[in-house]
Chain A
Amino acid sequence: MSTAIDPITFAVLKSAVESIVDDMAYTVMRTARSPIVRDVLDYSTTMCDAEGRILAQAKTVALHLGAVPDAMEALLAHFGDNLAPGDVIIFNDPYDGGMHLPDIFMFKPIFQEERHIGFSVVICHHCDVGGRVPGSNASDSTEIFQEGLRIPPLKLYDRGVRNDTLLNIIAKNVRLPDLVIGDLEAQLATCALGERELLRVVEKYGRAQFETFLADFLDYGERLTRNEIRQWPDGRYEFVDYIDGDGFDESPIPIKVAITVAGDQLDVDFSGSSPQVKGAINSTLSFVKSATYLAVRCVLDSDVPNNSGVYRCIDISAPKGSFLNPEFPAPVAARALTGYRVADTVLGALSKIVPARVAAAGEGGNSVVCLGGYDKETREPFIMVDMINGALGARATKDGIDAITNPSQNMSNMPVEIMESTYPIRIEEYSLRPDSCGAGETRGGLGVIRQYRLLAHDAILQLRADRYDHKPYGLFGGGEAAPSRNLLSSGGSGFELLSSKVTRNVSRGDVIRHEQAGGGGYGDPLARAPEAVLEDVIDGKITAGFAREHFRVVVENGAIDEKATAKLRGETEEVLA
């Protein structure tokens, strides 16, 4: 602990900045308009210092966290010497600080008596930013120009004066201007709240003491992280995972990672991963970094703060021109999927370093179902963006979790009754998917099923799933989970299987069904107690057939057939006797 600030004031200030970002997150939730923000909670709030270093991030979308440093770099490159009280900067351009176009970043520089002391940062996933497909999220665009409105770093407010030109351009280029402008207002309110609260803290403790705290706080994050990494065995650990295809080409897209542990430093190298692809799953390097930080953070066991000090311990590289560091103008709208898979891959490598702290692969990231069109009578547009979560893979001593947010998000689900009263859609089923788990001594979590019926005359369906061909992996003998499936029943016929990434027209009465992958298993399924298997069969979470095939447990009429089970498990008659 540095001697410049006493440990008590340090603890008090730490708690103060952490509660400011939570206040900010709460404000977004209360004031946002679109269901994707206010119900699904696809946003994040962050407080940075004047140099753009993260001090704290709220318990919101974790995958945004690591992208803030690169975004800050872009912002400072444009406006570093041109920031004034009352300014607000926004952008979404993936090739200039952004991630993908629907995520609009907003920054408010905070000044205390003319001195710049920090930034409020709010990133929201907007329900539409124009482009060829409602929701601006399609996997099958081939260049960024198809994906919607690109906003370079620009001032939305300049010394308190609103930039109406910019706002008008945004409003004219999105399908749901009321919601987009409404959500931007929510971002503005949140930035202002962050500013007010940070100023309160700085005024109370004095700027000098606050600035000392900043430096110490980042060091503290770094020190906690290094304390952990130092305990890991030095070495090079590799792992490969795959994305099924980019929506054009079904051939698998590999993500290769090599993690080198050297003392208290990690080097994470993605060399050997796929070159950039035609479809929109290319990911900016900033987002790859986010996913990597996230995976590493998940295996740190102490209460490490969400600040930039942590990143100092992790070097990350991906070759330029790879799909993890693409060249302009590659499309990137569906890059979230790549982020999930990067996290899965890094966690796979980490399982070789800290096996007790990881989970087997989960569902592979939320599946996105987007239905958009116009009401036939009123010509009112509607865009429903739904994100389906999720399953956690099995842990060393615990089963995975049935129906849970992916750890790289912290998202919620849209209530069925809200969806039905807002959109021309009816939900016919929302349930756990039996047998979707990977078997193991501990089993993976179950994925979910969500089935939609379109009530509007017609709509464009845009569906993004994965884990069709490359199932969620198990660990240490645990089985893979069931793959995802997209199904469509059109014109009253039976269900047909769609591909994992779909953009197509659908009509009234069509039924879209998504069956999500589950989580992988951990350890030998034969080591699982037959009684635990029986409980799952009774609960209908797995079928008797699954129990027999994967766990070699025979369940008949709600009870274990001991004899048949022993035989199947290869135990001898003597052991039984």
Chain B
Amino acid sequence: MARSRQARIGVDIGGTFTDLVLIEDGGRVLHGKVASTPRAPEEAVLEGISTLVEGAGLAVADIAEIVHGTTVGSNTLLQKVGAQTGLITTKGFRDVLEIGRLRTPHMFDLQWEKPVPLVRRRHRLEVSERIAADGSVLVPLDEEELVAAAQALLGEGIESLALCFINSYRNPVHEKRAETLLRERFPALGITTSVSVLPEAKEYERTSTTVVNAYVRPVLEAYLARLESGIASLGIDAPLLVGNSNGALASSDTARSKPVFFISSGRAAGAVGGSRLGTALDLDNLVIFDMGGTTASASLVRDGELSRVSEYEFRAGISTPSRFIKAGGYMMSVPTVDVAEVGSGAGSIAHLDSAGLVKVGPVSAGADPGPVCYGLGGTRPTVTDANLVLGYLPQALAGGSRTLSVEAAGKAIRDELGAPLGLDEVTAAFGVREVVNANMARAIRAVTVERGVDPRDFTLVAIGGSGPVHAAAIAELLSMKSLLIPASPGVFTAMGMLAGDVERYYIAPFAMLLEDVDTAALAEATARLREQARKTLSEEDIADDDMELVSEVDLRFRGQEMSLPVRFSEPFDMAKVRDDFLEQYRAIYNYSSSDSIEVVSVRMTGRGLRPGKLDFRKLQDAVADDVAPMSQRQVFFGRERGWLETPVYDRLRIPRVIEGPAILEGSDSTVVVPPGATATRDDFMNLHLKLA
């Protein structure tokens, strides 16, 4: 494709705002922000794009690519507005989806409600067929029964059909035959077979993943069709790429047929962006911390690799920081950026429990009524109120659009927390901040300590509007010494999307003891996966030279359930692979075993490196002069340090080095530099903080 055009647009839809970033090859960066339009999210996207392109003084023909993170998938699940979905299973197993894995997220909770399955029992039908555990056919597929079942479901108004047969991961013949047959008979019916999304053992995980795909598919298909036709009607003739849950990109065609891989589109992009930024700055070990209004999340980059998981559960509310719990959500076994999330954010409400313990969240004041200091009707103190009372935040929002009331915030904190605890306003406000910081530190612990990773060896990257207000204090809690605050933390996710590569994943079962591995068979399986990966990447317009193919084997000690992926190159070096596995295992669990190691499967990640993607090294914003602070104000830095007279800078006009304490105010975020810390600005307007 001719690359005369040079502008790329990244779009991230959030709950309140849709953020856009436009980047030109020359390095110019423009931000845009429009109110989200949840009922028809493409409207905000299209409005944002045309405003941004116009504001940049560009022609539509200058747009080379639009990269998009969408919440349509997650909202479809959250609000239960997916397609009328049917499920056909092996006889005896229609309830696998509803039975699930039986566990509950909390102990001792007799009032819990199990999530209603995405396919009701009346729409789950069974057919005669059976594959044995070794892949042999025990009972042939009863085709008449199958067609009758599909016919019955169509009669019930089913729009999308999921097919999942027991042991199909060992032999997909019945699922494939069923798909062919039903496509012939009912060409209009969307069909998702389980082997097309997850050819792996464990019937519940596979059924659930298949059902999520079938449930979301018509909605995402329609949305992307509307968006693409809208983009075309703006006169833009550029490919639309969509971010997947793993933080990579794929063509919108892929997103339409396998939406289950795109549920966390967007959320993962911030993490990937952080990781790219790290690479650009030669920082290999990062914790990426993203704090918004109601939640905060963390992800890990270790030795330059972003941490990922192979399954996650979507559920209303908040995922707990412990990944140990597996219960009560919509399970998807798909590669996903490992994001630990806690229900604490800038809008979280602080309160006391019945025994007088300070709690912050998970209830949030949100945008309505908002924090007390906004004066929009909020009466319960939030984290933002505490930050304002302590001097961390400016008393007027950017551009002076709103004045914040320190008095109202202080009164709410005194009344609700200070008086009952016998603490003064400032101590109580600081307490709110410390409690919320401790909560948020749990998200970081979940991706570090829980894996045996010492956070002290990592740089904390703070993104999201509120990330840089709390990052230094959280780093102190975890004894982390260095922080990185990107140039535009508030729109970083949209920017991160532009840093993504195209990725596709392939897996083949390969069960064998490591010591007995038949290298010829392994080479053959690997070659087959590699071929598939190449083929798909070239269909996504990736040139051969830009392809990166990573092969891995999933290994575990004999008898274990969970495996670790270990990279290998060819020819296969068994001893090296074993050593790598043992080393990884020891790093995580502090011990290792002398037991035999078994191979579970072979994996292939096909990555299409996009030549035009955002390069953080080229990024430059307005270059600052060496300047004096805009003003000074009193900021409370804890019981020992107390109130300190603190210089306040414009984020875009800062000297090369600032000694804390200091506050840096930008249009999208405020940065807190604590006493004893040194903030150094690099050539790309990123800030590097070293804590005392």
A: residues with CB less than 8 A from B are: 1, 7-8, 10-12, 14-15, 19, 22-23, 25-27, 29-35, 38-39, 41, 58-59, 62, 178-179, 182, 185, 188-189, 192-193, 196-197, 200, 204, 220, 223-224, 227, 294, 297-300, 302-303, 306, 357-359, 389-390, 392, 395, 398, 401-405, 407, 410-413, 415-418, 420-421, 426-432, 448, 451, 538-541
Contacts and interface: CB of A to CB of B under 8 A. Distances in A.
A12 B477 contact: yes
A30 B562 contact: yes
B104 A405 contact: yes
Contacts, number: 224
A412 B110 CA distance: 17
B641 interface: no
A36 to B, nearest CB: 11
B349 to A, nearest CB: 15
A306 B434 CA distance: 23
A392 B100 CA distance: 15
Given A7-B431, A8-B431, A33 B557 contact: yes
A30 B113 CA distance: 28
Given A26-B450, A451-B92, 4 more contacts: A182-B559, A403-B95, A407-B104, A416-B166
B354 A417 contact: no
B121 A539 contact: yes
B479 interface: yes
Nearest to A62: B107
A19 B95 CA distance: 34
A28 to B, nearest CB: 9
A412 B103 CA distance: 6
B309 interface: no
B354 A302 contact: yes
A198 to B, nearest CB: 12
Chain B at the A interface: mostly helix, strand, loop or mixed? loop
Nearest to A537: B122
Contacts of A179: 559
B110 A192 contact: no
B190 to A, nearest CB: 23
Q: Which 5 A-B pairs give the minimum distances between C-beta atoms?
A: A429-B92, A33-B559, A420-B133, A26-B324, A539-B121
Contacts of B167: 417, 420
Contact of A7 (B95, B203, B357, B446): B357
A189 B589 contact: yes
B141 to A, nearest CB: 17
Contact of B589 (A1, A193, A426, A539): A193
Contacts of B204: 415
A358 B110 contact: yes
Contacts of B479: 204
A59 B324 contact: yes
B4 interface: no
Interface in B346-393: 353-359
B98 interface: yes
B132 interface: yes
Interface residues of B, number: 75
A354 to B, nearest CB: 11
Contacts of B106: 59
A448 B103 CA distance: 15
10 contacts: A26-B322, A30-B562, A39-B561, A59-B107, A404-B102, A404-B104, A405-B102, A417-B167, A448-B95, A539-B120
A431 B92 contact: yes
Contacts of A11: 357-359, 434-435, 438
A376 B323 CA distance: 41
B445 interface: yes
B68 interface: no
A481 B589 CA distance: 45
B595 interface: yes
A59 B121 CA distance: 30
Contacts of B101: 412-413
Contacts of A541: 121
A215 B642 CA distance: 29
Highest count of chain B CB atoms <10 Å: which of A26, A58, A357, A358: A26
B111 A395 contact: yes
A254 B588 CA distance: 49
Contact of B559 (A27, A59, A178, A389): A178
B202 interface: yes
Given A19-B322, A404-B114, A185 B591 contact: yes
Interface in B428-466: 430-431, 434-435, 438-439, 442, 445-446, 449-450, 452
B560 A33 contact: yes
Contact of A538 (B94, B108, B122): B122
B593 interface: yes
A300 B106 CA distance: 13
B326 interface: yes
A403 B92 contact: no
Nearest to B421: A7
A448 B99 contact: yes
Nearest to A29: B324
Interface string B576-610: 00000000000011110101000000000000000
Contacts of A27: 589
B445 A30 contact: no
Nearest to A182: B559
B96 interface: yes
Contacts of A420: 132-133, 167
Contact of B591 (A188, A389, A402, A538): A188
A401 B112 contact: yes
Given A11-B438, A357-B110, A431-B93, A539 B122 contact: yes
Contacts of B358: 7-8, 11
A193 to B, nearest CB: 6
B93 A430 contact: yes
Interface in B221-254: none
Given A19-B442, A417-B133, A297 B102 contact: no
Contacts of A197: 449
A417 B108 contact: no
Contacts of B434: 8, 11-12
A328 B167 CA distance: 48
B543 interface: no
A22 B105 CA distance: 12
Interface string B471-503: 000000101000000000000000000000000
B589 A403 contact: no
Nearest to B560: A33
B321 interface: yes
Interface in B20-37: none
A415 B357 contact: no
Q: Most chain-A CB neighbours within 10 Å: which of B104, B111, B203?
A: B111
B281 interface: no
A11 B112 CA distance: 26
B100 A403 contact: yes
**From B94, B326, B449, residue with most partner A Cβ within 10 Å:** B449
A411 B102 contact: yes
Given A19-B442, A413-B99, A220 B108 contact: no
Contacts of B435: 8, 11-12
Contact of A22 (B203, B322, B430): B322
Contact of A390 (B102, B109, B110, B431): B102
Given A405-B104, A540-B121, A34 B98 contact: no
Contact of A298 (B105, B108, B169): B108
Contacts of B121: 432, 539-541
A418 B167 CA distance: 10
B148 interface: no
B477 A413 contact: no
Contact of A19 (B94, B105, B445, B558): B445
Contacts of A35: 561
| Most chain B beta carbons < 10 A, residue from A8, A58, A390 | A8
B325 interface: yes
B201 interface: yes
A29 B92 contact: no
B94 A431 contact: yes
